[in-house]
Chain A
Amino acid sequence: MGSFLEMKKITKLFNENVVLKNVDFCADRSQVKALVGENGAGKTTLMKILAGLYKPDSGQIFINGKQAVINNPKQAQEMGISMIYQELRLFPDLNVVENIFIRREPIKNWSFVSFIDWNKAHKETQKLLDYFELNINPRRLVKTLSTGEQKFVEIIKALSQNANILIMDEPTSALTEKETDKLFKAVTDIKNLGVAVVYISHRLEEVKRIADVVTVIRDGELINSSDISEIDINKLVMAMAGKEIEDRYPKLKLKLGKEQFCVKQLSFAGRLKDINFNLRRGEIIGITGLSGSGRRTLAKVLCGLEGPFEGQIVINGKIFNSMNTHLAKLNGLCYVIGAGFDEGLISSMKTDENITLTNLKRISKMGFIDNTLESEAARDLIDRLEIAAEKDEIVANLSGGKQKKISFAKWLFTNAKILIIEEPTAGIDISSKVDIYNIINELLMSGASVIMISSDLSEVVGMSDKIIVMFNGEITGVFNKSEATHENILYYASGGKKPS
C-alpha cells in the first residue's frame, strides 16, 4: 500500500546543473513531513515541481495511487496541491476576502446576469478565520496586516481551495515567536483535517516540534527519511552537511592591515540584534546563515539601503550613526549584488553605461557625459576583468558570469575599498567562478577588504579569513578559517546554541 503522495525518481536540471537526482519522496494524509537540507540542496525545487511551477526532466508523480500530470500551477491546484511560498504572494492593495477568493470568486446568477457573491465569500472567510481563532477583519487591506497575519491569510487561501496536500516553504522565517506558536497550532489542526502537510525548514528546533517524519535532502539527493522521535538534531546536521569536500578555492592568505571597517552593537527594526564585528585591510569576512537569518538585511543596513539603525558603523576610524548610499559610496563602501537579483545592474542598458554609472563625474566634462571617455573607461575595465563582452552589448543578453563581472567592474570604477559582496558566484559557470575568486584576491592585494555574504558553505569556508554565522538576526557563531567545518556552521546556522 503506497502513500497518498508519491514522487518517483524525480530528476531536474537547470542549464546542465543537476539539481535533483532520482529523488523519491512521499507524504501521507494526517501527517506533517519535514523536508530539510542546506541552501540549494533542492528542497524548494522538488516542491515547486509538485506545485506545477517547474516540470521535472524525468520522474513521475502519483496521487492516491493514480499517476498525476502536473503541467502548471492551476492543474496542481485542481488536484488539491497548494503551496505557501517563502515570500508572500498576496495583493497588498486588496482586502483579505478578495485575496482569498481571487480568480475563483463565488458567483450568483440573477436571471442572465452574473454577480460575485461577496456575502458568501465573506461568510466562508469568516468561518475559516474563526476556525483558526484569528482576530482579523476580512475587510482590511492586506498591506495593513502584519507579516504573520498575512501568512495566515495565505494558509486560509490554500485551505479554502480544498487542499489535501499543503506545502509550506519556511513559513516561520518572518514570524514572531507568538505567531509561530499560533501557526504550529494551525498546522496541527490542518493535519487533523486529513491534509498531508509538507514542511520545508532549516530550523531544526521547529522541525523537531512540529514534524512527524523528517526527510533530509543534500545536493539534490535524498539522504534519509526517518521518524522524528528516532533522530536528534546533531544527527540531522550531520546528514545535512555530508562529508567535507576538498578545498578548491584559490585563497590567498594576506598579511592583514589595520582595521578598515567595524560594526558596533548594531540593531535594526527587530530584524538584527546586537551585531558586532571588525574587518581589517586585506581580510575577507564570510557571513553565512540560512534564509531568513538576516544576512541580506545586514548587508543592506551596512550600505545604507535600509535604516535607521541603532549602534555604530565605523569606516576608517570615522563613526557613523546613520548611513545612506551616497555616504557609503563617498567612504569607499560598496555593495556588489550579482545577477539573479533584480538589483545591481540595469539590464536594459549597455555594458559601458552600466560600468560607468557609479562614477559619472569621472567621465563627464562640464556636466555632460563624454561618450569617448565613457567607452574608454569601460573598455579598460572590460579588458582588466577579462569580460568576454562588447561595451555596447545590452546587459540583459549576457550570461550570469559576465553580468557578475560587470557588477564588479562598476564598483572598481569608484575605487571602492570595502566591498560587501552578496552571493559572489551563485548561478554562474565554473570558469567565471574561478575568475571572481581571483578578482577578489586582486582587490585584497590592492588594499581592499571584503565582506562576503554567501549561502554556499564551501565557498565561505574556502575563501574567508573569518566566518560569521547568523541565525534570526543575531550572530550565533564566529570561526577562524581553520576551525570552520560545514557541520559546525550548520549547527549554529540552524539555531544551535553555544554550549555554555
Chain B
Amino acid sequence: MFAIERQNKIKEKLFREKRIDVVELSELFSVTEVTIRRDLDKLEQEGFLIKTYGGAVLSNAFVAKAFNFEPCDNSFDEKRLIGKIASQMLDNGEAIFLGSGSTCLEIARNIKDKKLTVVTNDLFIGYELRNITGIKVIVTGGDLIQATSTLVGAFTLQALNGIYINKAFIEVKGINFDSCYTVDSHDEAIVLLEVKKKSNELIIVADYTKFDRTAFVRLGDLTLAKKVISNKQVPSEYKKYFFEHAIKLYTTFEFE
C-alpha cells in the first residue's frame, strides 16, 4: 500500500471513529509506529486531526466542514477512485471546471500535483485547493443553495461569461434511460448547461448509486457528454448503451 492510500484509510477510520490509536494502526497496516506517526504529522498539517498522546482525534474544525458533504456516505471509496481516474485525464496547463458535489471534490483532492486553472461553483472545492501552489482557483460566486456548498444564479453565470474551459467535470444525481441525466435543482441545471457551452469537453462523473435513479430536474440526454466516469458496478445495460453510442465509459476497479 502506498503512503497516500494508507493516509486515506486513516482518514476514513478517523472519520468513523473520531479517535485513533497509533499501535492499533501500525498493526492494522503492518507498518512501524514511526511510519504511522509520520502519517499523522502530515494529516495534522492538513488540518484533519489533532495529535494526542498515543493517537489522534478528529479536528473539530474539520468536523464542521466535513459534516455537510459526507454525513452518511457509504460510497466514499467509489468516489475516491473516480477522482483518481479523472485526474489522469488532465494535462498541465489546462483550464478545468469542477462542478459541485462530493465526487468533484475527490477530483480536486487528486489533482494537487498538477498545474491547472480550476474554475468551480463549489465552496468546498475552492477551500480544498486553497494551499496548492500549482493551481489557480477561481470560485464563481453566486447564490449559495442553502445547506450545501453549491453556488448558482445570475452571478455564477456572469462569472462564466467570457471564459473557456478545456475539460469540465460535472456531477449528476440521477442517470436513467427514461429521465436521462438529472440534477437536484433547476438553478444547477442552468449553470451546468452554460458550462457545457464554454467547454471543449464535458465529462460526467457519478458513482454507481446514481444509476437507475432520477433526481428533480432533467439536465439532458444520455448522449450529453462523450465521456462518463463511474464504477465497476454500473448496470450492464448502461455499459452496453454507452459503448454502442460511442460514449467512453470509464469505470473504476480497485487493485492493490
Which A residues contact B (CB, under 8 angstroms)? 245-254, 384-386, 412, 429-435, 438-439, 441-443, 445-446
21 pairs, CB–CB < 8 Å, chain A vs chain B = A245-B246, A247-B246, A248-B242, A248-B246, A248-B247, A249-B248, A250-B248, A253-B88, A384-B253, A385-B232, A386-B232, A432-B236, A434-B239, A434-B240, A434-B249, A435-B232, A435-B251, A435-B253, A438-B249, A445-B88, A446-B256
CB-CB nearest 6 A-B residue pairs: A431-B236, A246-B246, A431-B239, A248-B246, A386-B232, A442-B253
Task: Check A441/B247 contact, CB under 8 A, given A430-B240, A446-B255.
Answer: no
- A254 contact set on B, CB distance < 8 A: 88
**Range, interface on chain B:** 20 to 34
CA distance A253 to B91 in the complex (A): 10
B residues near A (Cβ < 8 Å) are 84-85, 88-89, 227, 232-233, 236-237, 239-240, 242-256
Complex contacts, B240 vs chain A, CB 8 Å: 429-431, 434
Contact assessment for A385 and B253 in the assembled complex, using a CB-CB cutoff below 8 Å: yes
| Shortest Cβ distance from residue B196 to the other chain A in the assembled complex, whole angstroms | 19
**Contact across chains for B232 and A253 when beta carbons are under 8 A apart:** no
Task: Report whether A441 and B250 are in contact in the complex, using a CB–CB cutoff of 8 Å.
Answer: yes
- Please determine whether B247 and A434 come into contact, CB atoms closer than 8 angstroms: no
Q: Which residues of B contact A246 (CB under 8 A)?
A: 246
Chain B interface secondary structure, helix, strand, loop or mixed? Answer: mixed
Q: Is B246 in contact with A386, judged by CB distance below 8 angstroms?
A: no
* Pair B250/A250 contact, Cβ less than 8 Å: yes
Query: A251, A432, A439, A442: which contacts B248 (Cβ < 8 A)?
Result: A251
Chain A contacts of B252 at CB under 8 A?
438, 442
- Contact residues in A for B237 (Cβ distance below 8 Å): 431
Cβ-closest chain B residue relative to A444: B88
Q: How far is the CB of A253 from chain B (nearest CB, A)?
A: 7
CA distance A248 to B253 in the complex (A): 19
CA distance A429 to B239 in the complex (A): 10
In the complex, which of the residues B88, B246, B253 has the most CB atoms of chain A within 10 Å of its own CB atom?
A: B253
Q: How far, in whole Å, are A246 and B226 apart by their CA atoms in the complex?
A: 11
Name the B residues within 8 Å of A439 (CB-CB).
Answer: 253
Across the interface, do A434 and B242 meet the contact criterion of CB distance under 8 Å? yes
Question: In the docked arrangement, what's the CA distance between A443 and B255, Å?
Answer: 8
Instruction: List A contacts of B251 (CB < 8 A).
Output: 250, 434-435, 438
Cα(A266)–Cα(B227), bound, Å: 40
CB contact under 8 A between A252 and B239, given known A385-B253, A386-B233, A443-B255: no
Q: How far is the CA of A384 from the CA of B232 in the complex (A)?
A: 9
Known: A246-B246, A247-B246. A438 touches B89 (CB 8 A): no
> Residue of B at shortest CB range from A439?
B253
The answer to whether A445 touches B243 (Cβ under 8 A) is no
How far apart sit A297 and B252, CA to CA, in the bound complex (Å)? 33
Is the pair B232, A438 in contact by a Cβ cutoff of 8 Å? yes
Q: How far is the CA of A431 from the CA of B246 in the complex (A)?
A: 13
Question: What CA separation (Å) do A435 and B256 show in the bound complex?
Answer: 18
* Chain A residues with CB below 8 A from B250, complex form: 250, 252, 438, 441
